Amino acid sequence: MRYSQLIDKIDQINRSDPNQENIDGNSVAKQVLYSHRMLTRLLAFFPESPEVLKIAVYAQHINRWHIARSSYPTDRQGYLRWRKDLAEHHAQLTAKLMAEVGYSNEEISLVKSIIKKQNLKTDPLTQTLEDVACLVFLEYYLAAMMTNHSEEKLTVVIQKTWRKMSEAGQKSALEIDYTEAQHALIEKALKTSNAA
């Protein structure tokens, strides 16, 4: 009951996203779509996921448009500060919604920690969120990136994405149904990475 109430609250907020994507002729709020893709991928990757992980994965980008990248300096420091502030925003908003529907302080703290990717290298739940985010990027967002960036830049992005994943995540990434161009790019990036 409280889980479905929470999911509804997250969807309600994310439906306000001014950024839309066209799916089969229908306009869908970008963050609603992202949440659904994340949860679907999580359930395929780790079917026995605990509820706190499902929540963290679903709420990872809640209200993301609220903090614009353009309001930070364009350098790497600005980017990192933006990412950190976003994670804090997502975690705090999710915590508020969880409290409203009756989750305990312990559950809320755990979800906040996962969303902020604290203890990434040592906490399996946080690593699973990272795996899922990487898998969703590769499956749904790599294609668009390929139209706007050089092969050199894309190679670096894929290598960084690969390093973020666990072995299980990497195995799942190889099972995604890529286009020929995507498959060739990933193969090249991984060969270059292994040779380095």
Q: What is the pLDDT of residues 109-138, one digit of tens each?
A: 999 999 999 999 899 999 999 999 999 999
65 with 157, same domain: the answer is: no
Residue that has been written with the tokens 């992202």 in this structure:
34
Region 158-174: mean pLDDT is 97
Distances (CA, A) of 59 to 12, 71, 96, 154, 167: 12, 22, 12, 27, 25
Quote the DSSP letter at residue 69.
G
Residue 195 has pLDDT above 60, yes or no: no
Contact 37, 140 (CB under 8 A): yes
Total domains, the chain: 2
64 with 127, same domain: the answer is: no
133 with 99, same domain: the answer is: no
Query: Quick one: angle between helices 2-14 and 30-45, nearest 10?
Result: 140
26 with 83, same domain: the answer is: yes
Single residue among 89, 118, 147 that ends a domain in this structure = 118
CA distance 56 to 54: 6
10 with 99, same domain: the answer is: yes
Which pLDDT score, from 0 to 100, does residue 192 have? 86
62 with 156, same domain: the answer is: no
Burial of 34 (0-12, 13-18, 19+ CB in 10 A): buried
Is pTM beyond 0.75 here?
yes
What type of residue sits at position 176? I
Q: What is the pLDDT of residues 10-68, one digit of tens each?
A: 999 999 999 999 999 999 999 999 999 999 999 999 999 999 999 999 999 999 999 99
182 with 88, same domain: the answer is: no
Which pLDDT score, from 0 to 100, does residue 194 have? 67
100 with 136, same domain: the answer is: no
137 with 103, same domain: the answer is: no
3-state helix, strand, coil in the chain (%, to 5): 70, 5, 25
From the CB of residue 118, how many other CB atoms can be counted at a distance below 10 Å?
Answer: 13
Single residue among 102, 118, 134 that ends a domain in this structure = 118
Q: At 196, is the pLDDT very low, low, confident or very high (cuts 50, 70, 90)?
A: very low
3 with 88, same domain: the answer is: yes
Single residue among 66, 83, 118 that ends a domain in this structure = 118
66 with 143, same domain: the answer is: no
CA distance 7 to 3: 6
CA distance 78 to 76: 5
- Contacts with 65 (C-beta within 8 Å, 6 or more apart), sequence order: 17, 18, 19, 30, 31
Domain of residue 37: give its range.
1-118
106 with 162, same domain: the answer is: no
Q: What is the CA radius of gyration of the chain?
A: 17
